Amino acid sequence: MLEWMERPHRRLNPLTGEWVLVSPQRTQRPWQGKVDQVATRAAVQYDPSCYLCPGNERAGGIRNPQYTSTFAFDNDFPALTRSSEGGSLNEKDLLVAAPERGVCRVMCFSPRHDLSIPSMELAALKTVVEAWRTEAISLRSLPFVKYVQIFENRGELMGASNPHPHCQIWAVENIPNEVSMEDHRQAEYAQAHSTCLLCDYTLMEARGERVVCENESFLAAVPFWAVWPFEIIVLAKRHCARLEDTTETEREHLGQILQHLTRRYDALFETPFPYTMGFHEQPQESAAPAAAWHFHAHYYPPLLRSATIRKFMVGFELLAGPQRDITPEMAAARLREVGA
């Protein structure tokens, strides 16, 4: 490790322009917290009380079909609706509001209640990736949609109320905060360097220090600017702006790398690792050309030391900016060591 890396420093996230404080010397602190084992519940293939299992009834009396692979439907309790009625507000640029239309979908990965990405067959994962792509293309074709966010919340810690393997897909009328920042930063980088920010970054990460795992088409690394202890970014090795633009082989490899990295996550604290994950791709009416927008995925897991000890974003982090103790290099080494 380089000398500066062992002392307090800050690192820039070039995708957002935000800084994170890193305090590696604090990892020498004695730890007196307790380490708990999490009781794991017996998993059943079919749960009669699960609203996502095939054939079961959902809210409003709708019955799921006897689906056999993936299954997507409009969320019964959507955060957004397809029609927007209601006006906008601007009082002296201080009270500002505008209507927002959207579509919220839910997608089950499998009819099996007890499976998850780490335990699914690779062929079934390929089907999940294809279904993500189909959903994104179809939602983006709606005239008002500017951005489609695919995301998975895994585990009760991340607010996933149902263990049945599933994700959510939200299509929105305006480019959301995180995506908008990345959109502008990638556009600016391409202007200044005449290359793609994440193409350049992927080549740097290929040196290996922060790599967790990789295959022919994708590389998973703890990013240099990671905020969460075991945060991961999954980068396409060949430039493409959207999941839509990937080849069939790349989609197969995407399913494979998501499985490899989540198996490492599960092995780290011997627990089903909770996280929020999702893809970032070029929005409609992007500030950046397609050659500057690089398709990728983020994993944000909250665990810090064990199955029950999580990182909290409190104090300085809530009021000023994020901070971490374990360096991204140390986190990547630990994830490499546990194996898949």
| The binder of Zn ion chosen from 82, 237, 239, 305 (CB under 5 A) | 239
Q: Is 238 in the site for Zn ion (CB under 5 A)?
A: no
Q: Is 311 in the site for Zn ion (CB under 5 A)?
A: no
Q: Annotated catalytic residue: which of 166, 260, 280, 298?
A: 166
In the bound complex, what is the minimum distance in angstroms from residue 177's beta carbon to Zn ion?
Answer: 12
Integer angstrom CA distances of residue 232 from 41, 56, 265, 287, 337: 27, 35, 10, 25, 15
Distance CA 130, CA 125 (A): 9
| The binder of Zn ion chosen from 5, 21, 43, 50 (CB under 5 A) | 50
Q: Is 52 in the site for Zn ion (CB under 5 A)?
A: yes
Q: Is 11 in the site for Zn ion (CB under 5 A)?
A: no
Alpha-carbon torsion angle 150, 155, 158, 161, nearest 10: 80
Piece of 18-26, 46-54, 118-126, 184-192 that binds Zn ion (CB under 5 A): 46-54
In the bound complex, what is the minimum distance in angstroms from residue 263's beta carbon to Zn ion?
Answer: 22
Q: Which two structure tokens, joined as six digits, stand for 289?
A: 């050309």
- Annotation marks residue 166 as catalytic: yes
Piece of 157-165, 250-258, 269-277, 326-334 that binds Zn ion (CB under 5 A): 157-165
Q: Is 113 in the site for Zn ion (CB under 5 A)?
A: yes
Q: Is 166 in the site for Zn ion (CB under 5 A)?
A: no
Size of interface with Zn ion, in residues (CB under 5 A): 13
Q: Is 294 in the site for Zn ion (CB under 5 A)?
A: yes
Measured at the CA of 143, the angle between CA 138 and CA 148, to 5 degrees, comes to 50
Q: Is 196 in the site for Zn ion (CB under 5 A)?
A: yes
CB under 8 Å to 294, separation ≥6 — which residues?
186, 196, 197, 198, 199, 202, 235, 236, 239, 240, 241
Q: Which two structure tokens, joined as six digits, stand for 202?
A: 């992927």
CB under 8 Å to 65, separation ≥6 — which residues?
54, 55, 71
Given CA atoms 81, 246, 279, 263 in this order, what sign does their dihedral have? positive
In the bound complex, what is the minimum distance in angstroms from residue 239's beta carbon to Zn ion?
Answer: 4
Which C-beta is closer to Zn ion: that of 289 or that of 309?
A: 289
Q: Please list every residue from 270 through 289 that binds Zn ion, using CB under 5 A.
A: 280
Q: Which two structure tokens, joined as six digits, stand for 157?
A: 């810690």
In the bound complex, what is the minimum distance in angstroms from residue 16's beta carbon to Zn ion?
Answer: 8
Q: Are 84 and 99 in contact, with CB atoms under 8 Å apart?
A: yes
Backbone angles phi, psi at 160, to 5 degrees: -75, 115
Piece of 96-104, 159-167, 266-274, 310-318 that binds Zn ion (CB under 5 A): 159-167
Q: Is 257 in the site for Zn ion (CB under 5 A)?
A: no
Q: Are 223 and 211 in contact, with CB atoms under 8 Å apart?
A: no
List, in sequence order, every residue forming a beta bridge with 220; answer none if it has no partner. Answer: 213, 234
Q: Is 242 in the site for Zn ion (CB under 5 A)?
A: no
Q: SS3 for 156?
A: helix
Which C-beta is closer to Zn ion: that of 37 or that of 191?
A: 191
In the bound complex, what is the minimum distance in angstroms from residue 141's beta carbon to Zn ion?
Answer: 23
Piece of 52-60, 66-74, 218-226, 305-313 that binds Zn ion (CB under 5 A): 52-60
Residues that bind Zn ion (CB under 5 A): 47, 50, 52-53, 113, 164, 182, 196, 198-199, 239, 280, 294
Please give the positions annotated as active site: 166
